[in-house]
Amino acid sequence: MTVLIQTPFPTLMELVRLICNAFDMGRPIKKELDNKALDLYVSLPEAMEYFRKPEIYNDLCWIFNSVDLSQRFIDKVHHALTSYIEIVHQEPANGLSRAQMMPILFRLFGASVLRGDLHIGAKAYQISIIDPSSKVATKAVPSLITYLLKDSYAWQGMIKSFDKTKKDKIASWSRGEHIPDLSSIKTLLSVPGMEKERTSIVLARAWDYLLNETNCEFDNTENWTTNSIFNALHSKMIEVGKSLNEVINLENIGTNPSNKDKKSITDHELEIQKIKSAIEKYKNPYFLNYFHDLEVAYIEIKKGNLKKSLSFYKSAIEKLLYRDCHDIERILDLAIKAASAIGPDKAFCKQIRKLQYNFRLALPHHDKATDSNNYQYHIQDWEIERYAEEFHKTHNSESLKKPKSKSGPLVLKTDGTIRYDYRNPNKVISMPLRYGHKRMPQLAYSVQLNDFPAFRKLLESGASANCLTSANESPMILALEKLSYDSLKGDNSKKFFNQLIELKIDNKTLNSISDKKRLTILHSAIKTCDPDIVSKILKLGPDINITATHDLCTPLQQALSILKIAKEGFPEITDDLINTPEMLEALRRESNAILGNNLHSYINFLENPEIMDIFKGLIRETTSNPKLNPKKIENIVKLLIDYGSDLNYKHERPIRGYTPLMFAVECGETKIVKHMLAHGGNPEISAYIPNKGVYMDCYEIAKAWRQHETLNLLMIHKNHP
């Protein structure tokens, strides 16, 4: 993929490269950063992984002289890029150049610096980056060196020890003739006692680099208010819009879905040709006609030219990214449905899914391999099948075969009367679904349908517990799910579990994660709230720290979450809770994407009062389940700790960097916290709390949540470790 015209908004990787260049970090991988910079499809998790590469991370640790501060820097970058994507989403810039956009973005950055939003607690000298009389932005390095010569004894001593060459180099920095490079700073300032000076010099260097790159030296900082900055952007877009009134009117007609279906192909083609001609007359090289490509994609589907249609979807997306993303949800949804049905083009599905991550339309289903070329690390086959089904519902194209799902919905289309093959106990059978079939080993099928006599006979015939369904479910997971506290089946019998636990379950099956609900055998065991079951599963030797479930949590974090539900119930169902991607993702996976794969398609569904009443009724039924026994769940938590759970594991959701110990402190589980501290829990680890804009360790979390008893325990541990 080649970008022919530079986008007004920089790509995520261009910003990563800009940050690295500002600090002069990661020189050994500079070429890699250059090659990746124009990749429009890089996801935020993938972009952030670059700061973990040794070539960049080691430089960060040297600059800040601290692993903790380096992590804080990375957290701030993550938060800033998340906010940046929101701006890209909300602010159309089609028709603007990069030169027009960069000063606007720098002012947003500069305003954040002045507010202290980017402060990470690094030890650095405070100097002004604004001329006090004219209020314009100025270079930082010359002012810093002047300050150091006057107030830093360490700096003064260093200068005295320098030869003429080194002194001349420092003098050129102080005159603003050259921006210090990191290798020179390392050469001059690596001696002990100069940590504060080197951090200050590098931070000043980064500021000066960005001033140069954006041509914002001498920019009037009195205009660095949020309203002023966005008003300037809106004014530029109004100028673009004045010359495009004709195009905008035609666009509104051409993209109206109700109008499309009523038009003949010929009329539709004539209409979009008018749009194309109008834009060509406009002659703005920075305005890209992506909506023309979207309309042509639709027409080619109607004509039956499906592969051609897909190429126009690709073209449209590449034209609108980082240029005009206000309608990105709808456009990505159209494109991924087409890509799933036509071919399917799994590589394109993967690219679209990565974009959906960025715009909070989807969540990664694991926390590893963010840059993997394997599509299954980003989008699962069952999701592609659902998208393909949606495409067929809309277009019903005769040029494509109907999708044949292998993963299946929640309810099988069968009366349960199948003929088991006991001579071939591990035989995989196909169960009829709405589209295609779901493939299930006979043993798994007998568990699913609660057919215990057939189940026993299959075991006697030698059936294996290691055969998985096409949705990656083992017989053990299906058996444990029947016993789960949130199961609607109400089955309290352990008969399937008691038989399966006696069989050999290999490590691959033990740690296999089911496709939709994202469960392992251990996670499913924890949901039974039965310490005896969890103990027996732990003796099999599962990965104690594997991340699974919708929230990518470890078994210990999951157990703590269930303990909180057992004691406090579910939180009140509010719009803020419903509209979180995490809640929508859970509903999508639990419902087999019955309302679609796009997370936003679930919002209107949940806002329906009748649906909400049903939803709340299910929650009340779940929280009243006697299985939610706090004492038993506490025993499960202690079991997991005793078996070596990582008490300091930094989770991705719902707060990046939150550990099980932090969660236990938040909940005021003093006895559990004491057990964790005795097993290596570290209360000094901090996590960035976005809604508060601060870093908090366990002590601060205990204060914020008013867990006084837990705080007293932490202070005793701190004073008498």
pLDDT at position 64 is 95
Q: Residue 715 — very low, low, confident or very high, per pLDDT cuts 50/70/90?
A: very high
Q: Name the residue type at position 597.
A: N
Ramachandran region of residue 121, left (φ > 0), alpha (ψ -120 to 50) or beta?
A: left
Task: For residues 317-343, give the mean pLDDT.
Answer: 95
**Distance set, CA 232 to CA 218, 224, 245, 667, 674 (Å):** 18, 11, 20, 46, 55
Separation of alpha carbons 570 and 616, rounded Å: 10
pLDDT computed for residue 529 by the predictor: 96
Check residue 134 and report its DSSP letter: T
Residue 221's contacts (CB-CB under 8 Å, 6 or more residues apart) are 110, 114, 130, 135, 136, 137
Residue 315's pLDDT band (cuts 50, 70, 90):
very high
| Least confident window among 71-80, 127-136, 428-437, 504-513 | 428-437
Q: For the residues of 484-526, what is the DSSP string, one character each?
A: -TT-SS-----HHHHHHTTS---HHHHT---TTT---HHHHHH
Cα–Cα distance between 433 and 415 in angstroms, integer?
Answer: 12
Question: Looking at residue 2, what is its pLDDT?
Answer: 43
Q: Are 23 and 118 in contact (CB under 8 A)?
A: no
Give the start-to-end residue ranges of the domains of the chain: 1-243, 288-395
Alpha helices in 116-244 (DSSP H): 141-151, 153-161, 164-174, 182-189, 195-214, 226-242
Q: Nearest-CA neighbor of 564 among 707, 698, 366, 695?
A: 707
Report the pLDDT value the prediction gives residue 419, as an integer from 0 to 100. Answer: 86
Render pLDDT for 144-182 as a digit per residue (tens, 0 to 9).
999 999 999 999 999 999 999 999 999 999 998 889 999
Least confident of 164-168, 419-423, 525-529, 593-597: 593-597
pLDDT at 67 over 50: yes
For residue 609, is the peptide bond before it cis, meaning its omega torsion is within 30 degrees of 0? Answer: no
Q: Would you say residue 505 has pLDDT above 70?
A: yes
- 465 touches 500 (CB < 8 A): yes
pLDDT at 690 over 50: yes
The amino acid at residue 506 is D
Q: What is the CA radius of gyration of the chain?
A: 29
Place of tokens 């993967």: 350
What is the per-residue pLDDT for 250? 45
